[in-house]
């Protein structure tokens, strides 16, 4: 199958949601920006395991919301760098306009199924969405990691040293861990990939080595 691309935002819709409350004064309005991103899809758990750089079991411990900026184009040829020759303030405006709001969650690793990580250590996982400067950003297929004590199994893609991982697919790549290591999709959807348990994933990962 083709190598995964970075998630691409395919559409954008803006709605207004009223904040709940019983204040005698009108509640302020919070703008919600809804996006839809394109992700690779997988036919089975073997494809997921093969494509993942890191597969871990872990517990979220902290989160932060930040802006993710595209890497600027390089060179002075306008054919390969449309920003070549533009004034610095225009380049900065383009940079700001291209920013994507993400939530970066710190996850304490409890088990490594595939890849290099340290049990007891942490990894950062980036997901599209979050509240930034009073605006709530939400990606339609993303279930945000919860810090309520839930344990997850995550199929992750690496993006270089010092950068957070992200999920191969926000629906197919994120599972909650239940009794006895049973796995369920975090979004509540039906699993069609054969991802049933942590132990089963361990056996599959060992067979791929």
Q: Phi and psi at residue 89, in whole multiples of 5°?
A: -70, -30
Specify if 3 maps to a domain.
no
Specify if 20 maps to a domain.
yes
Question: From the CB of residue 97, how many other CB atoms can be counted at a distance below 10 Å?
Answer: 7
Specify if 1 maps to a domain.
no
Q: Phi and psi at residue 179, in whole multiples of 5°?
A: -60, 130
Domain count, the chain: 1
Strand ranges for the chain from DSSP E: 8-18, 29-38, 54-68, 100-114, 122-132, 135-139, 152-157, 165-167, 174-177, 183-185
Print pLDDT tens along the chain (209 aa). 444 545 655 444 433 333 334 445 555 667 999 989 999 999 999 999 999 999 999 999 999 999 887 666 666 667 676 656 667 676 666 566 667 899 999 999 999 999 999 999 999 999 999 999 999 999 999 999 999 889 999 999 999 999 999 999 999 999 999 999 999 999 999 988 989 999 999 999 999 87
pTM above 0.95, yes or no: no
Are 75 and 173 in contact by the 8 Å Cβ rule? The answer is no
Question: What's the Rg (C-alpha) of the chain?
Answer: 19
Question: What residue numbers bound the domain in which 164 lies?
Answer: 8-208
Specify if 2 maps to a domain.
no
Specify if 100 maps to a domain.
yes
């Amino acid at each position: 199958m083709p190598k995964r691309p970075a998630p691409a935002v395919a559409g954008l819709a803006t709605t207004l949601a009223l904040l709940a409350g019983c204040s005698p004064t009108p509640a302020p309005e919070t703008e919600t920006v809804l996006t839809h991103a394109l992700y690779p899809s997988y036919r089975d758990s073997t494809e997921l395991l093969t494509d993942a750089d890191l597969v871990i079991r872990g517990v979220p411990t902290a989160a932060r919301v930040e802006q993710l900026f595209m890497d600027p184009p390089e060179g002075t040829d306008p054919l390969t760098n449309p920003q070549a020759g533009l004034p610095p303030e225009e380049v900065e405006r383009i940079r700001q306009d291209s920013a994507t709001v993400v939530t970066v969650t710190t996850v304490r690793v409890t088990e490594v199924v595939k890849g290099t990580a340290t049990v007891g250590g942490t990894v950062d996982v980036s997901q599209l969405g979050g509240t930034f400067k009073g605006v709530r950003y939400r990606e339609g297929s993303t279930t945000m990691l919860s810090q309520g004590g839930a344990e997850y199994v995550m199929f992750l893609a690496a993006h270089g040293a010092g950068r957070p991982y992200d999920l191969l697919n926000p629906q197919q790549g994120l599972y909650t861990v239940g009794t006895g290591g049973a796995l369920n999709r975090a979004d509540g959807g039906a699993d069609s990939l054969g991802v049933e348990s942590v132990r089963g994933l361990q056996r599959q990962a060992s067979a791929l080595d």
